[in-house]
Structure 1
């Protein structure tokens, strides 16, 4: 008979005896006011942290220091605590990649983790390196469905039984079979991934036979409907699993998800939340997430370790990986408006590593330039600071053209989503309205065929629809690779000396004098001239002439949109609250059905938006009538 009573869904907003006390409901207070938690077992869990090891208040990352402090809090109140991680933890930001995961293992040891299962990106350093990291752990790395190709033996330990408050918890690991193509395939050539459902059935039987009273699957499977095997499927198909601590899909389950008799929990990503599952003396469960607004304590030992690691990594960052004979242009105004040689270098590296037909990255992801001379790891980490990894997808030519249209919709104004490309050339016709400006798009000497399938390589942010590239999210992932800076470092090491140039991959279609006159002199609805007397006669984005900057002429359609916005200033407005992943183009698409009205949103909210490329979660925007 199951030990569990009804699972209570409860949002834990911590109301401790500290200065950060928050108001809570009576139901919450019933649990939180229990200062004596003797007999309670508390499970803390994380997933998909991707190297976000240290706190970042701007982004809401809590870091391992908060995990450790929360564990200590519960233990002080008398609870016995289990700390688990559901994978994609050892790789990501440079603090992880510079030491190939070893720094993350050290943080986890200090935080008191009891068990972990590997995610697909934990294989990014290769299977051999993952086994080396396992040896450095003082907690087990579990997976019941990864076997060696040659012997069919398990690669890792499959399960463990841990006793807390006299109850035996049987924990087994499950890894997504998608790892075979969601890391570089060369990283997993010696292993295979068996069916998670069948592996789970065997584990439940084995653990119960060994005396386990509560069965927990620590799984890196996720809940994405596009995945063949999800944690939900396991819960539906396998009897006897009481709790699934899940990762992979970056799903945020505030109170958990009940599937039949199984509770599934997941925190989202980047340790923006710490998952809590509290089990009382009767076996009843309460599941919730804790964020940085509710819990602000840290662990001094981990804070010191973070400072020490950061200082030690300065030496690693000074490693020279190559040199450049040319200035590599990452100037903000340039990478967001035109082709640059640094954008060419990055996308060439993506295409070389993946074999894709086309590579594309957003100019907003390039954050600095590199001077002539030696190139260090620190240079590249500074240029590409976000820890993005490379993704390949097979998409239609139609979707590729739509993507380019999104990227150049604001030209000549700056846009974070402006495309830096490799493997394709195209022109921008500024006389045409946004959405129909891309002309003469060519791959391998042939015009892009809307019906043909092309493989693209891009960063994971864009692959998921970031910066308005929502069409990419409609296509399945073919493969996932290492981080952007790692791939570029490997490329530079092979080339040795960089001589990247502007190659007219992106040009502006030459405008005739008559066309210029039509564009610049057509009167607006208000009767004002569109032009300010400074016409854009540039024919090549790479020229970098100062005459094409802020004073450049905007096309008629844009000015009309602006006038529409101004004329609506007295109307009543709907309030839209910005959510994760939003940008103005994406909000425009959601609200108006087109990305081209982002400028209207910006004009209407200028008093609250200093930079149209930078909005934040929770920000309230006024929206005019649809």
Structure 2
């Protein structure tokens, strides 16, 4: 090697060493920043949803468009983090193959989701259904998102053993690789991500079989491990708990206050679309709506010992986005499976038109926001009676009322053709003991006194728990929201099939029809009323029912599903041009639930029921006691003054 070569190599070595030192120094001083994309409550909305806006029919959401939006964000930042805060399933026909094919997790994996958590609706198919879904997803061999769920526990029986279904779920969760938390590296940042199920979400999963540990206590334990054992730089919680307009009832705000070590909370369950994030202390809470209508974007940057929000936005998933061809092919693949394995059972087609509506019903986003009668609720509750009458034929036993809680309605109908897919979306929840998707209808009996209680449940419990609002067929009532709780109903009666008013007899048994889930949630209503409003479903002979599934109504050996009742009812309407037409009757209210907002004192106090009389009596006793106490004190003071004057 000549002198020139040696000199050149020496200079080159110095340059390389200088560059290395510069790079290390630059990386150490470069501000650390992370982009987080998030969704939640997508509820199987693989296809776009129809809405009416300013008289125009538009579509929002859809996984093919969503993936286009994700790809655009990846072009801006290839190392972004993509997460989901639960309820990615249950809401459209694609849920029908949840257990057998796991299209939800497999499609999320195809779109590049890093981490997701469970929502309460992932448990709608019970422990066994979720177990099958996890196993089939894993067996597919496809890329899948990591699942984190930190507060799931498995209760054992008196012998210290798990039930067969819980044992199966536990094994499937281990097989899939579900963890309390996971750690991901992005842009040199060590990120700890964990998942939670909140209290209200827990109460909305009556068939889960697992037990959810208190979400605050669980979060405290996980955050302690992430901070002190794993030494992460950033902590993200995928929380299926939700927010509320009243911060004292906002579970994720409470979580942020009580567990301040969490940097980011992606808030699912309440379907909230936060145009601006909620900031509690140093914790940033984001929420992007429902059904894939938006994707949330957060850009955060390291600042001191914490993180600063640089950008927060909700990117709409609508008509301006093209559809990703690869995801479209995936959706079509699963659609064919849905048709073959589910819809063929009912002799229906995915896109089959069952009726045409010349008007739009209340948009799903507004459904239940007002405490009043709703035309969609009327249609659904009427369909239950129609379906039972059709199934029972000459053996039909008169139904006094049917009941539909707003919380079981998952969509609405927009002006135009109504397809089988649209109908299923409106009433898509759950599964029956037949292990076929969709809650079945059940028939029970209530006393006349309990029918009046049903009206009072709606009037008094709805302000405390909005999903409990009831829509009815056959039961008409008037209530005054200004009256004392549990005494708001001022008039209640049955309207028979001919439209005649029938007074309710307290000790008479009346036949009631509703969905299986509605009956299972009766205990929640009792809890919300502190046990005051008691409703005990009974058999025709008046025997209390403990097994609701024994009361399921069948048609030729098949469970009558809620959605199927609606579809059959729509098909029964008079035809125009060969297509059944939704009658104008359902474009207006029928006086089934009348709100008398009279604020006068007489309106508040007149015709008190027994509960009100007891409360008024207690209040009166307290007032009288206070009067006597005041008089006693006055006399004592007076005597003391007289004694002092006498001594002087």
Tell me if structure 1 keeps the 8 A contact 2:85–2:268: yes
Deviations 1:309-337 (Å, cap 9, x if unpaired)? Answer: 223322123433699xxxxx999899968
Which 5+ residue runs of structure 1 have no aligned equivalent? 1-36, 324-328, 350-355, 369-377, 405-415, 432-436, 449-453, 464-470, 480-486, 501-543, 547-553, 555-581, 595-626
Secondary structure, counterpart of 1:157 in structure 2: coil
* Aligned residue number for residue 154 of structure 2: 148
Q: 1:192 Cα deviation (Å)?
A: 1.4
Tell me if structure 2 keeps the 8 A contact 1:222–1:246: yes
* Aligned residue number for residue 63 of structure 1: 62
Cα separation, 2, equivalents of 1:343 and 1:280:
58
Aligned pair partner of 2:42 in 28, 44, 49: 49
Cα separation, 1, equivalents of 2:429 and 2:389:
13
Tell me if structure 1 keeps the 8 A contact 2:124–2:429: no
Cα separation, 1, equivalents of 2:508 and 2:117:
47
Aligned pair partner of 1:315 in 315, 340, 350: 340
Matched length = 416
* Aligned residue number for residue 124 of structure 1: 124
Deviations 1:49-108 (Å, cap 9, x if unpaired)? Answer: 122122235364312223322222122224421111111112121112244371222221
* Aligned residue number for residue 289 of structure 1: 314
Tell me if structure 1 keeps the 8 A contact 2:59–2:319: no
* Aligned residue number for residue 473 of structure 2: 419
Cα separation, 1, equivalents of 2:65 and 2:103:
17
1:237-248 maps to which residues of 2 (within 5 A)?
Answer: 237-248=258-269
Tell me if structure 2 keeps the 8 A contact 1:69–1:297: yes
1:205-216 maps to which residues of 2 (within 5 A)?
Answer: 205-208=224-227, 209-216=229-236
1:159-238 maps to which residues of 2 (within 5 A)?
Answer: 159-185=181-207, 187-188=208-209, 191-208=210-227, 209-224=229-244, 230-238=251-259
Q: Cα–Cα, structure 1 residues 60 and 346, in superposed 2: closer, same or farther, change >3 Å?
A: farther
* Aligned residue number for residue 508 of structure 2: 445
Cα separation, 1, equivalents of 2:534 and 2:151:
22
Tell me if structure 2 keeps the 8 A contact 1:93–1:385: yes
Q: Cα–Cα, structure 1 residues 110 and 438, in superposed 2: closer, same or farther, change >3 Å?
A: farther
Cα separation, 2, equivalents of 1:245 and 1:71:
17
Cα separation, 2, equivalents of 1:227 and 1:494:
47
Q: 1:46 Cα deviation (Å)?
A: 1.0
Q: 1:475 Cα deviation (Å)?
A: 7.6
Q: Cα–Cα, structure 1 residues 113 and 439, in superposed 2: closer, same or farther, change >3 Å?
A: same
1:314-463 maps to which residues of 2 (within 5 A)?
Answer: 314-320=339-345, 343-345=385-387, 359-361=402-404, 384-389=424-429, 397=452, 400=455, 419=473, 426-427=494-495, 439-441=502-504, 445=508
Tell me if structure 2 keeps the 8 A contact 1:64–1:108: no
Cα separation, 1, equivalents of 2:261 and 2:380:
57
1:473-484 maps to which residues of 2 (within 5 A)?
Answer: none
Which 5+ residue runs of structure 2 have no aligned equivalent? 1-29, 52-57, 139-143, 349-353, 359-374, 392-398, 431-438, 443-448, 460-469, 477-491, 536-547, 562-572, 576-584, 599-648
Secondary structure, counterpart of 1:246 in structure 2: strand
Q: Which has the higher helix share?
A: 2
The answer to which of 141-150 and 306-315 deviates more is 306-315
Cα separation, 1, equivalents of 2:293 and 2:68:
15
Tell me if structure 2 keeps the 8 A contact 1:176–1:229: no
Cα separation, 2, equivalents of 1:239 and 1:83:
23
Q: Cα–Cα, structure 1 residues 494 and 193, in superposed 2: closer, same or farther, change >3 Å?
A: farther
Q: Cα–Cα, structure 1 residues 347 and 292, in superposed 2: closer, same or farther, change >3 Å?
A: farther
1:507-526 maps to which residues of 2 (within 5 A)?
Answer: none
* Aligned residue number for residue 579 of structure 1: none
Secondary structure, counterpart of 1:290 in structure 2: strand
Q: Cα–Cα, structure 1 residues 111 and 348, in superposed 2: closer, same or farther, change >3 Å?
A: farther
Q: Cα–Cα, structure 1 residues 106 and 121, in superposed 2: closer, same or farther, change >3 Å?
A: same
CA-based RMSD: 5.7
Tell me if structure 1 keeps the 8 A contact 2:64–2:328: yes
* Aligned residue number for residue 90 of structure 1: 89
* Aligned residue number for residue 285 of structure 2: 264
